[in-house]
Amino acid sequence: MSSAGSVAALSEAEFAAQVREWLAENLNGEFRDLRGLGGPGREHEAFDERLAWDRHLAAAGWTCLGWPVEYGGRAASVRQQIIFHEEYAKANAPARVSHVGEELLGPTVLAFGTQEQKERFLPGIRNVTELWCQGYSEPGAGSDLAAITTSARRDGDEWSINGQKIWTSLAHVADWCFVVARTERGSSRHKGLSYLLVPMRQPGIEVRPIVQLTGTAEFNEVFFDDARTEAGLVVGDPGDGWRIAMGTLTFERGISTLGQQIRFARELAGVEELARRTGAIDDPLLADRIDEAWIGLRVLRAHAIRTMEGTGADDGGQASVAKLLWANWHRDLGDLAMAVRGATGLVAEDGDLDEWQRLYLFTRADTIYGGSNEVQRNIISERVLGLPREARP
């Protein structure tokens, strides 16, 4: 597996300068017009071109920075990874199409996978030749993930999978899906689940798009009808899927969130500029809300760095706190954008949404996907504070 070599010996200033220089030189030519494209609610924008950009990054050694060198990474420190994501966002580089593989499945395989699984799947993630999606939520198991009913049974050298997943981001372009399925007949809740790696391009899988409020369709329903995967493509032991799945969710709320916050800051700056241009900034209540949003961003950054660098208490609830903080902040930014727009924000010109209307509509989902507010608060109350468990049917 190719790699550009370790960056561990570089100082933070040297590494930041290297990232800035490379981005300045390469976000040009065929990639010049990709700046600012893509991301949640906008994954349809220039997808093929962004995929080519991701592969260009990979060829230069800018994917999977924190991975060990022997698996194609560059052994970057936490601080260096933070620097990369922040510099990438500051350059307004396009949203990555390989996020699910690089930030979720890759670290999961590194932490829990067999050597054979590492050798088989990490090169495709690192080189962006195989794209992934996440098969967790179901119609009856969204916020209550332990209610999963999708089943898998061993059939010789394969698993046979039947059931339905929903809200599966980018399933329509994915080559593989990591699927949490019930593999022990008669099991319930967290027991009897397994974490399977399933090829998407096979007759037993049907993907149906879900049209969102924004009119786009990056979420999907995925139906498994005797879909197949090899017997050895279980991460961890059969029946241990809940532990592996929770590990993936921890990786999901990792270092890339610092880059996310740079994009949030750019959106906030745009809302403030709009308020100044329209005169809405003269409303003291709106001005106060803009100031509060600025303060909230600083809280997000301070919390993220404190937890990622291990300086905070390791109480197991840090990922849930982070999700609550950014999801509510971003939803409130959508509300603020509409307040600044005023009555004109209620009308879509020629039927097309502008960036603020799209921001408002898509951020309605922020407090739901990736674990709803209610689920995050339950995790904190039960697992961290030790409060009584919520009554369940």
364 touches 213 (CB < 8 A): yes
Distant-in-sequence, close-in-space partners of 52: CB < 8 Å, separation ≥ 6: 30, 31
Q: CA–CA distance from 178 to each of 124, 135, 181, 194, 235 (Å)? A: 15, 6, 10, 10, 9
CA gap 183, 235 in Å, rounded: 13
CA gap 356, 369 in Å, rounded: 20
From the list 103, 252, 267, 272, the catalytic residue is 252
2 touches 72 (CB < 8 A): yes
Token readout for 258 is 């610092």
* Strand blocks (E) in the chain: 132-135, 151-155, 158-165, 176-182, 193-199, 205-210, 219-230, 234-235
CA gap 133, 200 in Å, rounded: 9
Nearest Cα to Cα of residue 289 among 339, 358, 353: 339
Q: CA–CA distance from 11 to each of 7, 19, 76, 303 (Å)? A: 9, 12, 11, 24
Residue 270 Ramachandran class (φ > 0 left, ψ -120 to 50 alpha, else beta):
alpha
CA gap 314, 308 in Å, rounded: 10
Token readout for 83 is 């620097």
Distant-in-sequence, close-in-space partners of 243: CB < 8 Å, separation ≥ 6: 236
Asked if 267 is an active-site residue, the reply is no
91 touches 23 (CB < 8 A): yes
- What residues does 220 pair with on adjacent strands? 209
Q: CA–CA distance from 66 to each of 100, 102, 178, 196 (Å)? A: 15, 10, 21, 24
Catalytically active residues, by annotation: 252
